[in-house]
Amino acid sequence: MLNRFAQLFTVLIAVFLIIMTVGCGGGGGGNPSAPGTDYSQTSVLAPNTLNTLNTPASVYSYNSSSANVSIKLPVESGTAVNYALVVVNTSANSQPINLRPESYVLSGSLLAQAKEEALRASQRSTIPQSSALDEARMRQLPFEEKMRRDFVASLRNAGAAAGLRQNRSLRASDHSGEKLGDIVKLNIIVSYMFTQAYQERSCKLVRMTDHCKIFVDQNPYPVGGLSAVEGQYAITEDDLNHMVTEFENYIYPLMNGQYGKVYDIDGDGRLSIVFSPVYPSVGFAGLFNTLHMNPTKDGYKDYSNQRDMIGIWTPHALANSTSTGEKWRMDSRETIAHEMQHAINFSAKIFPNDIFRFPDDSNFNANEDSYLEAMWLDESLSVGSEARYRLARGQDSVYEARFDSWAKSSPHGYGLTSWAGVLGHYGQKGLFNYYLFEQYGAEKIKAMNQSTSTGISNIEAVYGKTIAELAKGFSLAVINESLRKEGLTSVSTVDKSYKFTKPVNLDLAEQVVTLGSTPISLSVPAMGTAYYLLKQPASFGGGEEFQFRIESYENLPVDILLMRLPNP
């Protein structure tokens, strides 16, 4: 009897040890230290997630400055359920974002399958190749940044005695007498890398409408001989008629009516559009140069054309750039809209209501973003204007490759309110601006453009929301649009704040996470977003609910949006 009792006792001990070793696989219960679970004793549990996320298209929102936030998801047994998760770093610093399973941790073959699926998802798309137009815009960025600094420096150096300050309703020149066929001498930048150099060019006024003058540079470029008037890359009469029609029918009504007017600094009532072979030869697609609207007596005053003008490239096939035929027409008309936004924005910030904004005692001690629109927002408005121009002329989609240059290339690595000269920043900022247009309408875009505030202060004042609130809605709309395109969800029942009303067809490189697996750690800059697709398989074995945690730095805030995705 004693031996039997000892044997029974041994079996009971063994069973107890097995139970303790395996732990509890579902519902957040069990021994936190046992294999199969991975709880944090310092984690804050986000409240009321199970009730909020029990129906498709439901959204849960939470913000926290804790290092660990735990979230419970309802599990639907026998049915596959997907969730879209965005984590916005709303702090002013970069921080890592990690996701870790707590109540059920995959291992063995199940973990291998989850990793394989995540790897397949990361390899499903390729980053689009940049176009000649995109490359040109990136090449000219260093000059545009320097141009902004030089403009503010010229105001700073002008002092109270400058003519600009003495006559604040100044018209710098009078070009109202120009006639078709006139040859006008215009200074165009030919060097900018180490020092700025301008060249006087003979430009012919070839078209004049109610709202624009079109000039064509008659001189070939000295190196290589690219010409806009002779040879295979000459601008034709048909090209000119096309540009006039596009400007009068689409570009001008959109830009003047829904963004604002360009300050008529030369009194002719028209925007000068100058096509020159200089621009493609030096690597520019188009340029609004503030020098030509700067009547101070400082800096490159001898080269200022004292004219509201934008420069546009001409047809070409060069070693680093090719744009001809219909491609050149498309590139050029979108560039006109892009550069015109810059001119309108500059006019509103410096010459609101045709009056120089700054009084005599302005010292201009701050950086250029205090006087001119912040680069990230200025470019956001310009790329957004291109999308709206495509919409206005009835094109099938507002999509462009720069959107995917961001979305397909580590989208978590881009801060929404930061700027750098890479295509992804143009794409992210432009798509954000288009999202704002769809969500809140054209009037707020115009109000932002016409405001004398800049950057975050400007956008928050116009929309009455924090940049974090706007970023959250945008981020969830982005991942929903990508998942819609992939056929993984339907957006018909999704709240309008979290989707695009017109398909954008972008492809987002979100992290794909099977419940119970651990994705890679992401380094997310200030106002950047980590994107996740959380997948609960129909065969999920972790119980009736699943708990995971989001890890970040202590005392650095994150905003979390989690949506239960409707089936496609």
CATH number of the domain at 136, please.
1.10.390
Instruction: Assess whether pLDDT exceeds 90 at residue 381.
Output: yes
Give the CA-trace dihedral at 404, 407, 410, 411, to 10 degrees: 140
State the CB neighbour count (10 A cutoff) for residue 138: 17
On whether both 382 and 431 belong to a single domain, the answer is yes
> Rounded mean pLDDT of 293-304?
69
Is 360 inside a domain boundary?
A: no
Task: Determine the residue type at 276.
Answer: S
Name the DSSP letter for residue 6.
Answer: H
Scored b (16 or more CB within 10 A) or e, 80-115 reads: ebbbbbbbbbbbeeebebbbbbbbbbbeeebeeebe
Per-residue pLDDT at 192: 80
Per-residue pLDDT at 23: 40
Per-residue pLDDT at 12: 47
For residue 234, count CB atoms less than 10 angstroms from its CB and return exposed for 0-12, middle for 13-18, buried for 19 or more.
middle
Instruction: Assess whether pLDDT exceeds 80 at residue 371.
Output: yes
On whether both 97 and 219 belong to a single domain, the answer is no
Which of 401, 436, 464 is a domain's end point? 464
On whether both 92 and 203 belong to a single domain, the answer is no
Is 109 inside a domain boundary?
A: yes
On whether both 317 and 209 belong to a single domain, the answer is yes
Instruction: Assess whether pLDDT exceeds 80 at residue 248.
Output: yes
For residue 5, count CB atoms less than 10 angstroms from its CB and return exposed for 0-12, middle for 13-18, buried for 19 or more.
exposed
Ordered DSSP codes for 202-220: EEEEEEE-SSEEEEEE-SP
Is 16 inside a domain boundary?
A: no
Per-residue pLDDT at 320: 86
Nearest CA-CA partner of 206 in 181, 243, 183, 171 = 181
Is 1 inside a domain boundary?
A: no
pTM of the predicted structure, to 2 decimals:
0.90
Is 162 inside a domain boundary?
A: no
Domain span at residue 336 reads: 132-157+174-355+369-464
Is 401 inside a domain boundary?
A: yes
Question: What are 530's strand-pairing partners?
Answer: 87
On whether both 486 and 455 belong to a single domain, the answer is no
On whether both 408 and 304 belong to a single domain, the answer is yes
The pLDDT tens digits of the residues spanning 67-124 come to: 999 999 999 999 999 999 999 999 999 999 999 999 999 999 889 888 888 887 776 6
**Helix, strand, or coil (residue 298):** coil
Structure tokens at 59: 């959204």
Instruction: Assess whether pLDDT exceeds 90 at residue 409.
Output: no
State the CB neighbour count (10 A cutoff) for residue 554: 10
Structure tokens at 565: 């995705």
Q: Report whether 491 contacts 484 (CB < 8 A).
A: yes
The pLDDT tens digits of the residues spanning 46-62 come to: 999 999 999 999 999 99
Which residues does 534 contact at the CB level (< 8 Å), separation at least 6?
Answer: 73, 82, 83, 84, 85, 513, 515
Which uninterrupted H or E stretch holds 480? helix 467-486
On whether both 113 and 179 belong to a single domain, the answer is no
What are the CB-based long-range contacts (under 8 Å, 24+) for 216-222? 216/240, 216/275, 216/276, 216/314, 217/186, 217/188, 217/274, 217/275, 217/276, 217/277, 217/278, 217/314, 218/183, 219/277, 220/277, 221/277, 221/278, 221/281
Q: Is 118 left (phi over 0), alpha (psi -120 to 50) or beta?
A: alpha
Per-residue pLDDT at 127: 65
**Helix, strand, or coil (residue 381):** helix
How many Cα neighbours within 13 Å face the side chain of 122? 13
On whether both 425 and 531 belong to a single domain, the answer is no
Higher pLDDT, 34 or 532: 532
On whether both 80 and 187 belong to a single domain, the answer is no
- What does the alpha-carbon distance between residue 350 and residue 206 come to, in Å, rounded to a whole number? 30
Is 25 inside a domain boundary?
A: no
Confidence of residue 24 (pLDDT cuts 50, 70, 90): very low
Which of 430, 464, 498 is a domain's end point? 464
Nearest CA-CA partner of 468 in 193, 87, 117, 147 = 87
Which uninterrupted H or E stretch holds 258? helix 252-258
Per-residue pLDDT at 31: 36
On whether both 193 and 44 belong to a single domain, the answer is no
Nearest CA-CA partner of 378 in 48, 118, 148 = 148
The pLDDT tens digits of the residues spanning 419-469 come to: 998 999 999 999 999 999 999 999 999 999 999 999 999 999 999 999 999
Per-residue pLDDT at 29: 38
Is 19 inside a domain boundary?
A: no
- Give the Å distances, CA to CA, from 86 to 59, 90, 513, 524, 563: 11, 12, 13, 12, 9
Residues of the chain with pLDDT > 70, as a percent, come to: 88
Per-residue pLDDT at 17: 44
- Give the Å distances, CA to CA, from 452 to 486, 510, 515: 42, 37, 48
On whether both 445 and 537 belong to a single domain, the answer is no
On whether both 219 and 192 belong to a single domain, the answer is yes
Instruction: Assess whether pLDDT exceeds 70 at residue 36.
Output: yes
Q: What is the tally of structural domains in the chain?
A: 2
Which of 464, 485, 512 is a domain's end point? 464
* Lowest pLDDT segment from 93-107, 154-168, 385-399: 154-168
- Across the chain, what does the average pLDDT equal? 89
